[in-house]
Structure 1
Amino acid sequence: MTFINYDGPKKKLSAAPSVHESAVLHNCYVGEWTAIGARSRLNEVVFGDYSYCVDEVQINYAEIGKFCSIASHVCINPGNHPMWRVTQHHATYRRASYGFAEQDDADFFDWRRSHKVTIGHDVWIGHGATIMPGVSIGTGAVIGSGAVVTKDVDPYTIVAGVPAKLIRERFSREAADRLIEIAWWDWPRETLQALQLRSCK
């Protein structure tokens, strides 16, 4: 029996965003040195420089910082339904599709937009995690695979589980505060290139 390892083509990134041909982006800003994986769907998203998402990621109404790593099958800000209405069905807000009105319910979609997700810089979100509407994730945080994040996550902490709970802090509070203070993610590319983003020891 022969085993073959195939990682796919190693695409060299550039300042121009790399968006897979099967990905769908609607009203998004995508920064430099970024990559959007196959069959991903982004709706009204700001996607920071050097960040990437792998295949089949869904992101709605969100701001993603720089240098974020988003694994496959992550869902950020899944759509909420109107639980206060007699029915929660699409027909109450996607009215035009059902012939109930000429236009959809703009107020409902504004309500969804008002619960955007905010993700800091250098955040790692593991495979299959879900980030619920209105959540803020601090810089340097790690979200475990399969986690369901229902509350804000502090910078440089690791959370996991359903619902997600604190596992531990990545660094001492002093070290985390210092990293936030130097804000290396905002350094010019020339500086990052010169340092080659070596790990701090």
Structure 2
Amino acid sequence: MTETDDPRFLNPQPRIHPSAHLKGVKLGKYAEVGERVILRDVTMGDFSYIERHSEGIYADIGRFCSIAPNVRINALEHPMERVTTHKISYRPNEFFKFQGIDADFRARRQGKRVSIGHDVWIGHGAVIMPAITIGHGAVIGANAVVTKDVAPYMIVAGNPARPIRPRFCQEIAISLIKLAWWDWPHTVLFDAIADIQSLGIEDFLAKWER
């Protein structure tokens, strides 16, 4: 029996709002893209969702990520070393005929991909700057501006974002990363939901560590 035929599961196809704009995007099963979201050259894993009016470019997003409205992932940088920061220097085709984009500048942008791990929560209005890595289980506070990498299971907030506290102690964080529940078959996840809802983190690990 395939997952599509299993009566315990809904349709695993990604859910994309008709007003969203996607180009070069790869979505996992059950992924959701909200109203007026714009994504370019982004991968997003199973069960992850991104809410209305958010944008992302050149990014890899793991599974089970929760991305709130108005988030900006891999915010556009401008060439401050040039005579002008204006896009006329790298997208002159928007103003003049027979002029292409600046391929070198695009390659520079593409080389600064953002990497977001599994089970990451990004709060409303947060901005993730280019070339940032966010570890598994991290939490990004609302309106934070993330200019440095974020460690797994760390909560950060502010502008620029600074560590507030870890979600769990280091021992539990290591155990969760080793458990890698986000990679479990969906049938196993189904069986674990009741324990996710009812068990404390230590009891959950004690039951499900293998």
Q: Do both proteins adopt the same fold according to a TM-score greater than 0.5, normalized to the shorter chain?
A: yes
Whichever residue aligns with residue 150 of structure 1, its letter is T
1:95 is the counterpart of 2:92? yes
The match for 1:150 is 147
CA shift, 1:102, in A, is 3.1
Whichever residue aligns with residue 27 of structure 2, its letter is V
Q: Normalization by structure 2: what TM-score? A: 0.87
Over 3 Å counting, the alpha-carbon distance change for 1:50 and 1:197 in structure 2 is farther
Whichever residue aligns with residue 155 of structure 1, its letter is P
Over 3 Å counting, the alpha-carbon distance change for 1:53 and 1:144 in structure 2 is same
Q: Is the 8 A contact 1:33 1:50 kept in 2?
A: yes
Q: Secondary structure at the match of 1:168?
A: strand
Q: Runs in 1 of length 4+ with deviation above 6 angstroms?
A: none
2:66 to 60, 63, 69: 69
Whichever residue aligns with residue 107 of structure 2, its letter is D
RMSD: 1.3
1:111 is the counterpart of 2:124? no
Q: Which has the higher helix share?
A: 2
1:181 is the counterpart of 2:173? no
Q: Normalization by structure 1: what TM-score? A: 0.91
Q: Is the 8 A contact 1:26 1:42 kept in 2?
A: yes
CA shift, 1:101, in A, is 4.3
Whichever residue aligns with residue 170 of structure 2, its letter is R
Alignment length, in residue pairs? 190
CA distance in structure 1 between the aligned counterparts of 2:90 and 2:10, rounded to whole angstroms: 40
Percent of matched pairs sharing the same residue: 49
Whichever residue aligns with residue 135 of structure 2, its letter is G
Give 5+ residue unaligned stretches, structure 2.
Answer: 1-8, 201-210
Q: Secondary structure at the match of 2:195?
A: coil
CA distance in structure 1 between the aligned counterparts of 2:87 and 2:26, rounded to whole angstroms: 27
The match for 2:55 is 58
The match for 2:38 is 41
1:141 is the counterpart of 2:138? yes
Over 3 Å counting, the alpha-carbon distance change for 1:115 and 1:13 in structure 2 is farther
Whichever residue aligns with residue 85 of structure 1, its letter is R
Q: Secondary structure at the match of 1:196?
A: helix
Q: Secondary structure at the match of 1:198?
A: helix
Give 5+ residue unaligned stretches, structure 1.
Answer: 1-11
